[in-house]
Amino acid sequence: MDTSIERKPGLRAFLLTAMFYPLMIGWTLVGIVCSPALIAILKIATGWEIARVVRYWIKVHGRGLIVIVSPFVRFRKEDLETIPLPAILVVNHLSFVDGYYMASLPFHDLTFAVGAWPFRMYWYTAFMRLSRYIDVENVAWNDAVAICRRAASKNGCVLFFPEGHRSRDRRLQPFYSGAFRMAIETGLPLVPLCITGTDILLPPEKHWLHPADVRLRALPAVDPAGFQGPSGPTRFSNFVRERMAAALEGMRESAGGSRKDGTDP
């Protein structure tokens, strides 16, 4: 059964949408124009490698979106301080803005492992390549493992969207096994992240934004050592998926669900 809700835009949705697009476009353009100088300054000030500096700058950009929508979005972070470093992270996928909300994690050295289409967004392509994000559709597996090991050596994290695409009905979709195989091969703990509310804020394939309650929760880390053998990645992904599905159901129930009439408050 389709559990999605078609929300009717009200006054607050109109105000949010009218405010969001000009501010986000402006913020992005300012970031692109200022990035060469700011990246150079950060490089000199911190001594970090360029990839880490760019990842920090991307976090700043993501925080900008969170600030822009904050007058209309109640955002709660839960147990994020329990995430061990380094780690493999997996998060469910509901909306285009999910990636931006990862900027709220309490560390900046985060490498995204994503499909090819974000690399084709020409205004972001250079930043994604400079930051050494992983194009899971085109990179060789050994190269992906090398990137993960390098990130771990610097106490960084690598984040996967194991569903591979946004859910259209809020339900957790089947998982690809790449993140779980990566955790097993590298020995890094795997941390499930659960996000809710972004599908209301900006539903897939929609352009209207709606006021929402967004929550991001970190579940306890899982040791990959218990999932060895040929069937290990599949058993591992099934275990984590069941845990995330239960957590997401509880988060939505505690939030009281969406308004039944589908209108904005």
In this predicted model, what pLDDT tens digit does every residue of 42-83 receive, in sequence order?
A: 999 999 999 999 999 999 999 999 999 999 999 999 999 999
Give me the CATH number covering residue 174. 3.40.1130
* Residue 239, domain member (yes or no): yes
Average pLDDT estimate for 114-123: 80
Average pLDDT estimate for 75-100: 97
Tokens 């957790």 found at: 172
Per-range mean pLDDT, top range of 121-125, 163-167, 194-198: 194-198
| Position 1 confidence tier, pLDDT thresholds 50, 70, 90 | very low
Q: Is 196 helix (H, G, I), strand (E, B) or coil?
A: strand
- DSSP E strands, 92-226: 110-114, 134-135, 157-160, 190-196, 212-218
Higher pLDDT, 116 or 175: 175
Q: By the 8 A CB rule, do 129 and 50 touch?
A: no
Give the neighbor-by-neighbor strand order of the sheet with 157-160.
73-78, 212-218, 190-196, 87-91, 157-160, 110-114, 134-135
| Segment 233-259, tens digit of pLDDT | 999 999 999 999 999 999 999 877 444
| Segment 143-157, tens digit of pLDDT | 999 999 999 999 999
* Residue 138, domain member (yes or no): yes
pLDDT above 50 for 265: no
* Residue 4, domain member (yes or no): no
| Segment 6-21, tens digit of pLDDT | 667 799 999 999 999 9
166: tokens are 């946004």
Amino acid (1-letter code) at residue 57: W
pLDDT above 70 for 129: yes
Torsion angle defined by CA atoms of residues 173, 74, 118 and 168, in that order, rounded to the nearest 10 degrees: 30
Q: By the 8 A CB rule, do 196 and 255 touch?
A: yes
Phi/psi at 245 (nearest 5 deg)?
A: -60, -40
Per-range mean pLDDT, top range of 129-133, 234-238, 250-254, 261-265: 234-238
* Residue 213, domain member (yes or no): yes
* Residue 173, domain member (yes or no): yes
The predicted structure's pLDDT at residue 116: 80
207: tokens are 């352009």
* Residue 6, domain member (yes or no): no
pLDDT above 50 for 181: yes
Q: By the 8 A CB rule, do 72 and 197 touch?
A: no
Give which of 97, 96, 91 is closest to 113, Cα–Cα.
91
Torsion angle defined by CA atoms of residues 126, 129, 134 and 136, in that order, rounded to the nearest 10 degrees: 60
* Residue 164, domain member (yes or no): yes
Q: By the 8 A CB rule, do 219 and 91 touch?
A: no
pLDDT above 50 for 32: yes
Query: What are the angstrom distances between the C-alpha of 8 and each of 167, 168, 261?
Result: 20, 17, 9
| Position 261 confidence tier, pLDDT thresholds 50, 70, 90 | very low
Number of domains in the chain: 1
pLDDT above 80 for 31: yes
- How far the first Cα of the chain sits from its last, in Å, is 25
Tokens 């490498």 found at: 111
Q: By the 8 A CB rule, do 195 and 215 touch?
A: yes
| Position 170 confidence tier, pLDDT thresholds 50, 70, 90 | confident
- Domain residues for the domain of 128 are 11-255
| Position 262 confidence tier, pLDDT thresholds 50, 70, 90 | very low
> In 3-state terms, the chain is what percent helix, strand and coil (to 5)?
50, 15, 35
54: tokens are 């760019």
Peptide bond into 86 cis (omega under 30): yes
